[in-house]
Amino acid sequence: MALLPLALAAASLPAFGQQTYVSRFDLFTGYTYLDSPAVSLGENGFQFQAGARANRWLSLGFDYSVSEGTLTLKPAMLLPSLQQQLGAELGAMAAAGEIPAGYKLIVPAHSRTQTFAGGPQFNYRHFSKVTLFIRPSAGAIHEYATPQPGDPIAAAVAAQLAPSGYKVDTVVFYGFGGGADFNFSRHVGLRVQADFVHDHLFSDLLQNGRNTVRMSIGPCFNFGGNVAH
């Protein structure tokens, strides 16, 4: 899980001497894991990046990821107005004996998340076999969530929150990221990276935004002519 600290620790590896060859373009494709603790969301998926190097320390690129998993909604996560409405409904059901003793309402949902980002990346090439990098993370996140209630009470609540049977939202996210490329040769390496971002998906239901960590690992490919400066 702690991929970014691992990447930053790469500076301690025996990779001395600055890099003499830096190709103009790079591609990355690999496994990604998306973690949003506020909604108990964990997703596995795929990430793709493409970049062009303006010089040896600055790259400009595009980033896309898609992942799927499950999240869990609880009443305390909802907007205060929805909490009050739900509390009144559950209270009436409890008074009528329609809710089992000790019942705790949760609404699980299947989630599919896509992220789209672009911008600069700052590279540190002091080590011949390891490239360290940091970047701002800003872009759009798109999420499609399908409730999967486990009992009739949760099903009734899910029908109110998502009458169509699903919820879709797209919002802006912002944060920062970084990692390391372990360079096996001029053209092939292993990238380990992580991004920490904040967003507020489904603001019509949820009262708070959420922090998300995306971690990924996979091969990176470098091609094109040598960037002289």
What is the pLDDT, as a whole number, of residue 6? 46
pLDDT for position 16: 53
The pTM score is: 0.88
Q: What is the per-residue pLDDT for 91?
A: 87
Whether 119 and 135 have beta carbons less than 8 Å apart is answered as: yes
Query: How far are the Cα atoms of 43, 49, 221 from residue 34, in angstroms, in the given order?
Result: 5, 16, 23
Q: How far apart are CA 87 and CA 89, in angstroms?
A: 5
HSE, side-chain direction, 13 A CA sphere, residue 14: 0
3-9+17-69+112-143+166-226 architecture in CATH? Beta Barrel (2.40)
Integer Rg of the chain from CA:
22
* Binned average pLDDT, 10 residues per bin, the chain of 229 residues: 46 58 95 96 97 95 97 94 92 87 92 97 94 96 96 93 96 97 95 97 96 98 90
